[in-house]
Structure 1
Amino acid sequence: MRKLMRIAGRILAIAAVVLLAAGLWKRDEIMRLWAVNSLFAEDRIVANFSNMEGAFLTRPVSRGDGPVVPLATGEAMTLPAGAGDWINARAVTSLLVLKDGKIRHESYHLGTAETDRRISWSVAKSYLSALFGILLKEGAIASLDDPVTTYAPLLTGSAYDGASIRNVLNMASGVTFDEDYLDYDSDINRMGREIALGGALDQFAADLKDRFAAPGSTWQYVSIDTHVIGMVIRGATGRSIPDLLSEKIITPLGLEQAPYYVTDGDGVAFVLGGLNITTRDYARFGLLIEQDGRYNGQQIVPADWIAASTRPSAPTKEGKIGYGYQWWVPIGAHDGEFLARGVYGQYIYIDQDRDVVIVSTAADRKFRDKGVNRANIEMFRQIARAL
């Protein structure tokens, strides 16, 4: 009996060592998975959104070695009545308002600061759109009507086989993808865990096999579509998105801090929502777009691409919010009014007629409640009218 107990004890000891070794070996993956599962917790969300590099694999985006291009400051504005209540209700972490290229309001909330590089979430999609427009003009990509598989052959045989670049830019790929952030088993949350565990998003996209509609026939917001645009760009150029974005957009803007991307296990940038930038630097990008792609005396993004990409060209339902090439067009928008939008309350709102750019970051856990997005847009419109 004693001999059996000694043998059992040795087996348990060996098992404990094996488990400990496995735990140490997989420690980073386990910690990232824990980070994903607690990312939006009420007591952590604000800090998490300013410190994504502490939880995920990341890759820097060089700002270049040029000087910072300053943002001019104008007379401080008085925010409209109700703005303070809106800031509190929507867990706004920063608000910056530009009029005629000058800062008229800048404030930080919930313990955040001007040096925080805040997670963009889907605001990053609009950055990728701008980069795509540059590469299209340069001839790296021949046509919006080319099949995505021309540049991303890994997608052959997937649900994306037969979709054009235009379809995917418009979020009209027809690919079945569950975007419910509140459902643990949704595709968007499975994708988050894939990133946490060091998986490859290219393969994740290629493994999608189902369609709910023919490409180009129906609009449905599918975040993985933007990753496919990133695959197209990488396939067309043989270069990474961080390097291209740095060269074509970030360096000319003269940012205050170098941004960074969250990446998957292959080091591929999470282009559909993983860009992290300061509020002022978001404003610089917004000003670039508001000025038809021109900034600091240089035409960076083709003006015709700005016009095309911010027009509501996607097959959205009548009376609903419009969509272009990775830009949103609000209900009742006048020409030149559009926005970049990310979950939990991230916005770059642009009104070209009024020469206004508004950046708002937030940690709004109720962002999906009925009427919240419309109320946010109405607040931006009130701010623009008050200038």
Structure 2
Amino acid sequence: MPDSQKLRDPRQPGAPIIPRASWDLGPYNRWTFQNVRDLTPTTRVWRGIGQPSNLGEAPDDIENIRFNHDGKEWTVGEVLAETYTDGFLVMHRGRVVLEIYMNGMRRHTTHLSQSVAKSVTAAASAGLIERGILDPQAPVTEYLPELEKTAYAGAKLQHVLDMTSGVLFDETYTAEDSHMAKVDVACGWKEPKDPSWPLTMWEFIQTLTEKECEHGESFRYRSIETDVLAFAMQRATGKALADIVSENLWIPLGAEEDAYFTVDRGGYALADGGFNATLRDYGRFAQMITNNGSFNGRQIVPASFIERTRKGGNNAIFGPDYRVALPKGAYHNQFWIDDVDRPALMARGVFGQLLYMDQESQFAAVKLSSWPDFLNIARTRLTFAAVRAIRTAIA
């Protein structure tokens, strides 16, 4: 079973050394996703000094829920074992109905969530938008004039939020010379394969000078868009991203533990995929989004931002590659939309990270994983089916 493929702790005498070039890949990620601070520089997202917010509990027999998927009957428990699960949390009407830790993970353990960081960053930007510090309709170059010489010239901040800029960006995770390979170096995760590659994210963004389509024409998943958003947030506020997330999300949520971002060689927090937090704190974030931005007795993210996000998806520009897993899906404000006719929101990351947030059913789920591969459509579809089956059974 996948859960038996735990790595020996490399800090122990005689344990195998994790290769620097592949620390974030399987099978090493079975250990590294829960121990990122031991592998690369990070910056703290402070939780504040208050008591953690309360998560009510109403345990339910979720693991034994049965459902059919692609002609086979599954239980939720079987899916969790099959899909390299590290932590799984289900909330209904604000109460925890299931909380499971696997692969050595514990309640206090922080876990890398990859591109879930994008949704966290966007949620932290929402208050800045409401207060007029950021304007989604303003050109990106109003905040970052240095990008006038790049393909971001003419793009609006909303294009970046929706990943609909026309900037050419190769997201191929396994190609050795793709833009993503260069991001791995620029963000500080890997050593450069070519001495000419940029060594910080800001330097890398300024190399993106080609367009592949007109701004606003189509959705094409570009991780770098989140970093452009984050640099605009930092320029507009004069604060670091980790502090923005702390002040706008982590402290008001009443988080149980500090979170953290990985940082590049210049100290920039990786907005597109470097966020780490505990399972229960991801649950607090997911419940807040499910509650239309309200949690812990306060409005944390403006309800108008959540409503625009839920209702603003456009399936028409959602290409065929994305419809394999989400036939009626969309993307808006750095969140995935499960179905434009019933707009549950999702935050997703490679290697099996998922936050699922359905306001209509007052249902939220968090799955932290360490798949051996970046993407796996079979596991993705199976996970979606399991989460929807839970929602149907308890809502």
| Coarse TM-score class (shorter-chain normalised) | 0.7 to 0.9
Amino acid at match of 1:280: R
Pick one of 342, 350, 353 that aligns with 2:360.
Answer: 353
Residue of structure 2 in register with 1:231 after alignment: 231
- Cα offset for 1:365? 2.1
| Aligned-residue CA RMSD (Å) | 1.8
> CA–CA distance in 2 between the matches of 1:358 and 1:170?
23
Aligned residues of 1:242 and 1:269 also touching (Cα < 8 A): yes
Residue of structure 2 in register with 1:46 after alignment: 30
- Cα offset for 1:334? 4.3
Query: Larger % of helix: which?
Result: 1
SS at match of 1:305: helix
> CA–CA distance in 2 between the matches of 1:224 and 1:105?
34
- Cα offset for 1:162? 1.2
Residue of structure 1 in register with 2:136 after alignment: 144
- Cα offset for 1:370? 3.2
SS at match of 1:156: helix
Amino acid at match of 1:250: W
Aligned residues of 2:23 and 2:32 also touching (Cα < 8 A): no
Residue 76 in structure 1 maps to residue 78 in structure 2 = no
Query: Which runs of no fewer than 5 residues in structure 1 stay unpaired?
Result: 1-31
> Could you tell me the TM-score, scaled by structure 2's length?
0.85
Identity of aligned residues (%): 30
Pick one of 109, 117, 120 that aligns with 2:113.
Answer: 120
- Cα offset for 1:144? 1.3
Residue of structure 2 in register with 1:154 after alignment: 146
Residue of structure 2 in register with 1:326 after alignment: 334
Aligned residues of 2:172 and 2:180 also touching (Cα < 8 A): yes
> CA–CA distance in 1 between the matches of 2:332 and 2:18?
34
> CA–CA distance in 2 between the matches of 1:371 and 1:33?
28
- Cα offset for 1:77? 2.7
Residue 362 in structure 1 maps to residue 369 in structure 2 = yes
Residue of structure 1 in register with 2:102 after alignment: 109
Q: 1:169 to 1:77 in 2, by over 3 A?
A: same
> CA–CA distance in 2 between the matches of 1:277 and 1:61?
9
Task: Please identify runs of 4+ aligned residues in structure 1 that moved more than 6 A.
Answer: none
Amino acid at match of 2:222: V
For residues 23-65 of structure 1, what are the alpha-carbon distances to aligned partners after superposition, in whole Å with 9 as ceiling and x for unaligned?
Answer: xxxxxxxxx99434232131x2111001111111110011111
Residue of structure 1 in register with 2:166 after alignment: 174
> CA–CA distance in 2 between the matches of 1:140 and 1:184?
39
Aligned residues of 1:176 and 1:211 also touching (Cα < 8 A): yes
For residues 268-324 of structure 1, what are the alpha-carbon distances to aligned partners after superposition, in whole Å with 9 as ceiling and x for unaligned?
Answer: 110111110000000000111110111121111110101112334353238453111
Q: Specify the structure having the higher radius of gyration (Cα).
A: 1
Aligned residues of 2:330 and 2:340 also touching (Cα < 8 A): no
> CA–CA distance in 1 between the matches of 2:310 and 2:144?
25
Amino acid at match of 2:215: P
> CA–CA distance in 2 between the matches of 1:367 and 1:274?
15
Pick one of 292, 316, 319 that aligns with 1:317.
Answer: 319
Q: How does 1:1-387 map onto structure 2 within 5 Å?
A: 34-42=19-27, 44-79=28-63, 80-81=65-66, 82=74, 83-141=76-134, 143-194=135-186, 195-196=188-189, 197=191, 199-314=199-314, 315-317=317-319, 319=327, 321-330=329-338, 332=339, 334-366=341-373, 368-387=375-394
Q: Structure 1 stretch 250-259 or stretch 106-115: which is displaced more? A: 106-115
> Could you tell me the TM-score, scaled by structure 1's length?
0.87
> CA–CA distance in 2 between the matches of 1:258 and 1:48?
18
- Cα offset for 1:336? 4.2
